[in-house]
A and B are shown apart, each in its own frame.
Chain A
Amino acid sequence: MNSLVFRLTLPILFGYLPLGMAFGVLFTTQLDYAWWAAPLMGVVIYAGAGQILAVSLLAASAGLLEVFIAMFVLNARHLFYGLSLLGQFRRAGWRKLYLIFGLTDETYSLLTSRPRSQDTLKELDIDFRITAFNQVYWVIGCILGALLGRNVAFDSTGIEFALVALFIVLTIEQLKALGDAFPVWVGAAAAGVAMIVLPPAHQLIGAIAIVTAVLLLQYRNLRAKPAAEGHSHV
């Protein structure tokens, strides 16, 4: 069974090792904390973009409330992964908590796209192993990167741009999956407004509030439209 899981997760190995290493290098070259805190974050936080954002929050000695909100919102997409797996995880028993903990973008895409047999318990066991294998790849990447960043002397000025590049890539991927540029413009415009009217420490939270408000308004308008048409016929 483990060789099947290894084959299924191989593409994720190739994604997680380099990205985990990028995080590890970033952590040890940008910050003065002990190197092993990088893999520790891979064990207890286990979120790619989240951990890379965490490096810049640590560098800025961000307040803990800001850390919570920034991490929560960055990972808010996971809320919607869970929603589509409620049924699949229902009978997972003791494995359920770890399956939920390990629900990264890549694990989610694998768990929801692989073919499943009728044997629910066996399939849940495979889901569990996939999740564990993926986290092991990620933590190994974090360790390798942290050791590399600590032991190899090179000028790392500007390496923090990896975070910006990652967000750009994720935006393009979201845009392609959605086929609708509206939310991208809302996000960029909200960021622009927040950066003009707010001091740096409150810009992220402010922009997030604007985005949420606009999406709620859009929802209300979409719901109101059919109702209004209904009235005009009366």
Chain B
Amino acid sequence: MSDTVYLTAFIAVAAAATFATRIIPFLFFERHTEHPLVKHLGRFLPAAVMALLATVFLQRSADWDAALPGFDAILAGTLVVIVHLWRRNALLSIAAGTATYMVIRQSGLLESGVIG
């Protein structure tokens, strides 16, 4: 598959999946909004999925071969939590964590040195 074909297919699939989540209730659930299972999933699923994604991508962004394994991601992630609990400003929290992670990665701060 060429790059352009892949990108086009990718965008089409991503758009279809996103639109599906938005239109399905209007197509199939007109009569089931009060069903307890729907309410139960509506209450708990979003939080569980967010925690799942945060965990998977936090693990993937960490350097597990460094002298302090995983500390790059753990430090930046902890900072996001602290800043967000402190100011509750999403953009500020994201910017602070990302900037910290970039500095750690680009300076090679935790890769060798300190211990190894």
A148: CB under 8 A from chain B?
Answer: no
Nearest neighbor of B89 in chain A, beta-carbon distance: A169
In the complex, which residues of chain A have a beta carbon less than 8 angstroms from the beta carbon of B55?
A: 187-188, 191-192, 195
- Whether B21 pairs with A18 at a CB distance below 8 angstroms is no
Q: Which residues from 91 to 128 on chain A have a C-beta closer than 8 Å to any C-beta of chain B?
A: 96, 100-101, 103
CB distance from A130 to the nearest CB of B (A): 16
Nearest neighbor of A26 in chain B, beta-carbon distance: B98
Contact pattern, A 66-91, Cβ under 8 Å of B = 1, otherwise 0: 01110111111111111110100100
- Whether A44 pairs with B11 at a CB distance below 8 angstroms is yes
- Whether B11 pairs with A167 at a CB distance below 8 angstroms is no
In the complex, which residues of chain B have a beta carbon less than 8 angstroms from the beta carbon of A155?
A: 102, 106
- Whether B29 pairs with A83 at a CB distance below 8 angstroms is yes
Which of A46, A68, A160, A218 is in CB contact (< 8 Å) with B44? A218
Q: How far is the CA of A194 from the CA of B45 in the complex (A)?
A: 17
A41/B11 contact (C-beta < 8 A), A215-B41, A215-B45 known: yes
Q: How far is the CA of A222 from the CA of B44 in the complex (A)?
A: 13
- Whether A19 pairs with B41 at a CB distance below 8 angstroms is no
CB distance from B42 to the nearest CB of A (A): 4
Nearest neighbor of B6 in chain A, beta-carbon distance: A61
- Whether A168 pairs with B80 at a CB distance below 8 angstroms is yes
Q: How far is the CA of A19 from the CA of B9 in the complex (A)?
A: 25
- Whether B42 pairs with A157 at a CB distance below 8 angstroms is no
- Whether A68 pairs with B46 at a CB distance below 8 angstroms is no
Interface size on A, as a range, is 35 or more
- How many chain B residues have a CB neighbour from A under 8 Å? 67
A160/B61 contact (C-beta < 8 A), A50-B14, A191-B51, A222-B40 known: yes
A172/B85 contact (C-beta < 8 A), A45-B14, A68-B13, A187-B52 known: yes
- Whether B49 pairs with A187 at a CB distance below 8 angstroms is yes
CB distance from A230 to the nearest CB of B (A): 17
Q: How far is the CA of A165 from the CA of B75 in the complex (A)?
A: 12
CB distance from B108 to the nearest CB of A (A): 10
Count: A-B pairs, CB below 8 Å: 260
In the complex, which residues of chain B have a beta carbon less than 8 angstroms from the beta carbon of A32?
A: 3
- Whether A83 pairs with B21 at a CB distance below 8 angstroms is no
Nearest neighbor of A176 in chain B, beta-carbon distance: B88
In the complex, which residues of chain A have a beta carbon less than 8 angstroms from the beta carbon of B102?
A: 155-159, 161
In the complex, which residues of chain A have a beta carbon less than 8 angstroms from the beta carbon of B36?
A: 219, 223
Q: Which residues from 3 to 35 on chain B have a C-beta closer than 8 Å to any C-beta of chain A?
A: 3, 6-7, 9-11, 13-26, 29-30, 33
Q: How far is the CA of A184 from the CA of B22 in the complex (A)?
A: 23
B56: CB under 8 A from chain A?
Answer: yes
Which of B14, B26, B101 is in CB contact (< 8 Å) with A54? B14
CB distance from B21 to the nearest CB of A (A): 4
A169/B77 contact (C-beta < 8 A), A45-B11, A161-B102 known: no
Which of A168, A172, A204 is in CB contact (< 8 Å) with B97? A168
Interface of A toward B, CB cutoff 8 Å: 15, 18-19, 22, 32-33, 37, 40-41, 44-47, 50-51, 53-54, 56-58, 61, 64, 67-69, 71-84, 86, 89, 96, 100-101, 103, 155-175, 178, 180, 182-188, 190-192, 194-195, 200, 203-204, 207-208, 211-212, 214-215, 218-219, 222-223
